[in-house]
Structure 1
Amino acid sequence: MKQYEVLKWASLFLEKHHREATVGEILLQHYLNVSRSMFFANMQETIPAVLVDKFKKWIILHAETGVPIQHIIGVESFYGREFLVNKHVLIPRPETEELIEHILQTTDEKVQTIVDVGTGSGIIAITLALELPNAEMYATDISAQALETARQNAEKLNANVTFLEGDFLQPIRLQGIEPDMIVSNPPYIALSDEPALSDTVKNYDPHLALFAEENGLAAYKEIIHSIPTGVKNVVFEIGYEQGQAVQTLIKNKYPAADVTVIKDINGHDRIVSAQI
C-alpha cells in the first residue's frame, strides 16, 4: 500500500469509531521515522507490508479500546521537547505549556529555588530547569513509578532536577529546603466527574494524578496548608471552574497576597498565580 492509502484507511476507521483521525498521522509518522515535512512529501511512497500490518494492529487497538497513542509510541511532545510517557504518568497537555509561559514571563533570571509538587513525568520541573538555568529545581511525587519516569526524562534531556519521593510538600519540609516558588499541576478532577471523562483518560491515565476529594480541591488545600515560610510565589494549574475557589483558599491563608486567575487560550480559567 502507498502511504496515502494507509492513511486514508486509518482516517476512515478512526472516524467510524469516533476517534481523532489525526492519530493515524501521528502513529504512521512515528513508524516511518521521518520529519513532518518529509512525511507529507512521501504520500506516494510504498510502505512495506510488515509495517502496514503493525500500524493497522495499533490503530485497531486504539479505536476499540481507547489506549492513548502516546502509550503506543511511548513519547509525547511538550514545549518543543520529547518526553517519555507511560501508564504511571499523565500525558502532557498543551494547556500546561501556558503555565510554563506564565512563569517564564513573570520570573527573572536570578538564582532561586523552585519546587514542582506532584511532578508526574517531570514536564514542568524539567522544562523550567532548562529554561531557567540559574534556578535550583526540586520535584516531588508520591508515586515511585512516576518519579522513575521523571528521572529518565531529566537524564534524557540533560536537566538538573532533584527528585524527592513523598506526599506533596512533605519531602521538602523534611529536607529543610526553603523554596522561593511553588508550582503544581495537582489532581483536580472531582470524583463525581469521572463518568463524563473519555475512556482514553479514565481508563489509562493514573487515577492518583487525576482525581481529588472535596470536589477536586483537596490537593490545593493540602499544598496551600503546607507552604513553607519564605515562599514568594505560588503558581497552580486548575480546572476551568476552580479559579475562584483556589483564589479564595490562598487568600484565606495569605490575606495580603496578590492572587490572579489567568485564562487559557480557549478562554477558560487555567492558572492561579499568587505573589505572597
Structure 2
Amino acid sequence: MLTLQQALRRHPLPRLEARMLLQHVRPGLTHARLIADPDLLLSEAETSQFEQLALRRLQGEPMAYLLGEREFYGRNFRVSPAVLIPRPETEHLVEAALERLGQAPAQVVDLGCGSGAIAITLALEAAAWVVSAVDLSPDALQVAMGNAQQLGASVRFQQGSWYQPLGELAGFDLIVSNPPYIEQHDHHLAEGDVRFEPRMALTDEHDGLSCLREIIAGAPARLKAGGWLMLEHGFDQGDVVRQLLRSAGLQNVATLPDLAGLDRVSIGQMADN
C-alpha cells in the first residue's frame, strides 16, 4: 500500500496527472485533502488501481481514456477507446450552429456522432431542436446513448454510414459532422493521444477528403431551404472544402477559425426559396 505522498512521487508523471489519477481511484479525494493529508494511506485495491493506471499513462494512453471522461462545452462526457476524445476545437462547430439557428425549432442531425458530444450539446443548448445522430460503430453508439441518458438529452440515435439510415427524403435545418479527415499517411496518426483513438474515426484511409466529399454531395437533397451544413476539418483543408460546398450549390460559404487562428469549421447554406 502507498500513502498519497508516496504515490505522487512513485512514477515520473506530471504532478497534475498523478493527482487526477489518485482522485479517480479514491472518489471524494479533494485537492485540499491531497495537500493537507499526504500520509493518508491508500487501500490495497486503490494502490493496485493507481499503479495500473500510472503505468498505462507512462505508455502514452490518453488521460481521458484512463479517467473515462472528458469535458466538452462545460459538461463531462464518458469516453472509451471506441470513440474520439472530444476536443475544444469542436466547440466552434457547436457555437456556429447555435449562432446561426438560434433557439427556434429545428430538425438537426449529427453524422458520425462518436461520443455524442456535438449532438447532445446541441440538444441541451437548444431545447426546441429535434436532434438525431448517426454513427457506423455500434460501440460508439453505446457510448453516445449512455452520455445522452446521463446528461438528460433527447437525441435519436441510428446506426449506419452517413445518410444511409436517414432515408432519401429527410429534411434538415442543420447537418453537422466532424468526420475522419486525416490523410492516411499523416504522421500525426502515430503520435500522442491519436495513437490510441479509433483509426476509422480519424482517417478515411485515403486523402482525408473522401468523407467530406460524400457528406457535402449528399447534403443538398436533405437540407431544407435555408438549411445549413457545417463541417469540422483539418487546418489545411479550408480552401478545398469551401470549393466543394460551392460546387454543391450551397451559398454563404465561409470558413471559421479556431482559437489558434487556423481553419477549422466550414459552413454553407441552401438557398432560401
Q: TM-score, normalized by length of structure 1?
A: 0.87
Structure 2 residue 111 is the aligned partner of structure 1 residue 104? no
* CA distance 1:67–1:188, change in 2 (3 Å): same
- Say which is worse superposed, 245-254 or 193-202, in terms of deviation: 193-202
- Of Structure 1 and Structure 2, the greater helix share is in 1
Distance 2:63 2:77 in 1: 14
Distance 2:94 2:264 in 1: 12
Give the share of equivalent positions with the same residue, in percent.
34
Listed one character per residue, the Cα deviations across residues 88-140 of structure 1 (whole Å, up to 9, x for unaligned) are 11111121122212222222211110110000111100110011110010111
Structure 2 residue 138 is the aligned partner of structure 1 residue 138? no
Select which of 80, 84, 109 maps to 1:90: 84
Contact 1:2 1:43 in 2 (8 A): no
Distance 1:241 1:129 in 2: 30
Q: CA shift at 1:21, angstroms?
A: 5.3
Q: CA shift at 1:5, angstroms?
A: 4.7
Q: 2:181 maps to what in 1?
A: 188
* CA distance 1:239–1:195, change in 2 (3 Å): closer
Q: 2:242 maps to what in 1?
A: 247
Over the residues paired in the alignment, what is the CA RMSD in angstroms?
2.1
Structure 2 residue 56 is the aligned partner of structure 1 residue 61? yes
Q: Which amino acid aligns with 1:182?
A: I
Distance 2:237 2:16 in 1: 31
Structure 2 residue 116 is the aligned partner of structure 1 residue 122? yes
Between Structure 1 and Structure 2, how many residues are aligned?
A: 263
Select which of 196, 217, 225 maps to 1:225: 217
- SS of the aligned residue for 1:129 comes to helix
Q: Which amino acid aligns with 1:241?
A: D
Q: CA shift at 1:73, angstroms?
A: 2.4
| Structure 1 runs (4+) greater than 6 angstroms displaced | none
Q: 2:232 maps to what in 1?
A: 237
Q: 1:42 maps to what in 2?
A: 34
* CA distance 1:195–1:234, change in 2 (3 Å): closer
Q: CA shift at 1:85, angstroms?
A: 1.1
Distance 1:110 1:32 in 2: 44
Distance 2:5 2:245 in 1: 53
- SS of the aligned residue for 2:113 comes to coil
- SS of the aligned residue for 1:192 comes to coil
Q: 1:17 maps to what in 2?
A: none
Q: 2:164 maps to what in 1?
A: 170
Unaligned runs of 5+ in 1: 15-19
Q: Which amino acid aligns with 2:18?
A: G
Q: Which amino acid aligns with 2:70?
A: E
Q: CA shift at 1:72, angstroms?
A: 2.2
Contact 1:262 1:270 in 2 (8 A): yes
Listed one character per residue, the Cα deviations across residues 192-220 of structure 1 (whole Å, up to 9, x for unaligned) are 10466315312x21111010244211111
Q: CA shift at 1:69, angstroms?
A: 2.3
